[in-house]
A and B are shown apart, each in its own frame.
Chain A
Amino acid sequence: MPNFNILVNGSRRSVQCDADTPLLWVLRDELQLTGTKYGCGMGVCGACTVHQENRVVRSCQISIHEADGLSFTTIEGLSLDGSHPCQTAWIEEDVAQCGYCQTGMIMEAAALLTKTADPTDAQIDETFSGHVCRCGTYQRIRKAIHRAAASLRS
Chain B
Amino acid sequence: MSVTRRSFLVKTVGATTGLMIGFRLDCAANVDEATKVFSPNAFIEISVNDEVRLWATRSEMGQGVRTLLPMVLADELGADWNRIIVEQASPGGKFTGVRLRTSGSGSAVGTWHTLRVAAAAAREMLIAAAAERWNVPPSTCDTKNGGVIHRPSGRAIQFGEIVIAAAKLPVPKSPALRDPKDFSLIGKPIRRLDGQAIVTGRAIYGMDVKRPEMLYAVLARRPSFGAKLVSFDSEQAMRARGVRHVLPVTTGIATGVAVLADGSWAALKGRAALQIRWSAGEGAAFDSDRFSADMQRGALLPGYPIRRAGAAEVEIASSSRIIDATYEYPFQAHATLETMNCTADVRDGFCEIWAPTQCPEVAQQETAKLLGISEDKVRVNITLLGGGFGRRLFADYVPEAVELSKAVGRPVQVLWTREDDMKYGFFQPPDIEVLRARLPDKGVPTVWIQKSVGSNLSMFGIPSEQDAKELDRYAKDGSPWGVFDNPYNLTHLTADFIPFNSPVPTGPWRSVEYPGTVFARESFIDEIAHAAGRDPIELRLAFLEPGDVLDLKVQKVNRARLQNVLHLAAAKSTWGSKLPTEKDWHLGRGVACNVYSEDCYAAHVAEVAVRRDLSAIRVRKIICIVDCGLALNPLGIEGQAESAIIWGLSSTLGGKIHFKNGQAQETSYSDFEVIRMDNTPAIEIHIHQGADSPGGFGETAVPGVAPAVANAVFAACGKRVRRLPITPEKLAMA
* B199 close to A97 (CB less than 8 A): no
* A102 close to B198 (CB less than 8 A): yes
Binary interface encoding of chain A residues 67-108 relative to chain B, with 1 for a CB under 8 A from any of its CBs, else 0: 000000011101100100011001110111111111100100
Binds A, one of B15-23, B108-116, B381-389: B381-389
* A97 close to B677 (CB less than 8 A): no
Binds A, one of B118-126, B201-209, B433-441, B604-612: B201-209
* A129 close to B191 (CB less than 8 A): no
A47-B337, A98-B387, A135-B643 known; A18 and B677 CB under 8 Å?
Answer: no
Contacts of B676 in A (CB 8 A): 128-129, 131-132, 138
* B200 close to A75 (CB less than 8 A): yes
A45-B669, A94-B635 known; A39 and B418 CB under 8 Å?
Answer: yes
Bound Cα distance from A91 to B200, whole angstroms: 11
Which residues of chain B in 388-445 are interfacial with respect to chain A, using CB atoms and an 8 Å cutoff?
Answer: 388-389, 415, 417-418
Contacts of A102 in B (CB 8 A): 198-199
**What distance in Å separates the Cβ of B205 from its nearest Cβ neighbour in chain A?**
6
Which residues of chain B in 177-234 are interfacial with respect to chain A, using CB atoms and an 8 Å cutoff?
Answer: 189, 191-192, 194-196, 198-205, 207-208, 210, 216
Which residues of chain A in 113-148 are interfacial with respect to chain B, using CB atoms and an 8 Å cutoff?
Answer: 124-126, 128-129, 131-142
- 8 Å CB contact of A129 from B649, B668, B670, B677: B677
Bound Cα distance from A135 to B640, whole angstroms: 8
Which among A38, A78, A99, A141 has the greatest number of chain B C-beta atoms within 10 A? Answer: A99
Which residues of chain A in 35-79 are interfacial with respect to chain B, using CB atoms and an 8 Å cutoff?
Answer: 35-42, 44-45, 47, 74-76, 78-79
Bound Cα distance from A18 to B267, whole angstroms: 12
Contacts of A100 in B (CB 8 A): 205, 336-338, 384, 386-387
Which residues of chain B in 650-692 are interfacial with respect to chain A, using CB atoms and an 8 Å cutoff?
Answer: 650, 668-670, 674-678, 680, 682-683
Question: Is B63 interfacial (CB 8 A cutoff)?
Answer: yes
Bound Cα distance from A71 to B397, whole angstroms: 37
Contacts of B62 in A (CB 8 A): 96-99, 135
Number of A-B contacts (CB under 8 A): 193
- 8 Å CB contact of A136 from B205, B388, B647: B647
**What distance in Å separates the Cβ of A5 from its nearest Cβ neighbour in chain B?**
18
* B264 close to A28 (CB less than 8 A): yes
Contacts of B84 in A (CB 8 A): none
A82-B200, A91-B199 known; A25 and B677 CB under 8 Å?
Answer: no
Question: Is B61 interfacial (CB 8 A cutoff)?
Answer: yes
Contacts of B680 in A (CB 8 A): 136, 138-139, 142
Bound Cα distance from A95 to B386, whole angstroms: 14
A18-B266, A40-B418 known; A134 and B241 CB under 8 Å?
Answer: no
Contacts of A135 in B (CB 8 A): 62, 387, 643, 646
Report the nearest B residue to A125, measured CB to CB: B678
* B642 close to A35 (CB less than 8 A): no
Contacts of B337 in A (CB 8 A): 37, 39, 45, 47, 98, 100-101, 132-134
Question: Is B339 interfacial (CB 8 A cutoff)?
Answer: yes
**What distance in Å separates the Cβ of B687 from its nearest Cβ neighbour in chain A?**
15
Report the nearest A residue to B264, measured CB to CB: A25
Question: Is B8 interfacial (CB 8 A cutoff)?
Answer: no
Contacts of B64 in A (CB 8 A): 97
Report which B residues bind A (CB closer than 8 A).
61-64, 189, 191-192, 194-196, 198-205, 207-208, 210, 216, 241-242, 263-266, 269, 335-339, 384-389, 415, 417-418, 635, 639-640, 642-647, 649-650, 668-670, 674-678, 680, 682-683
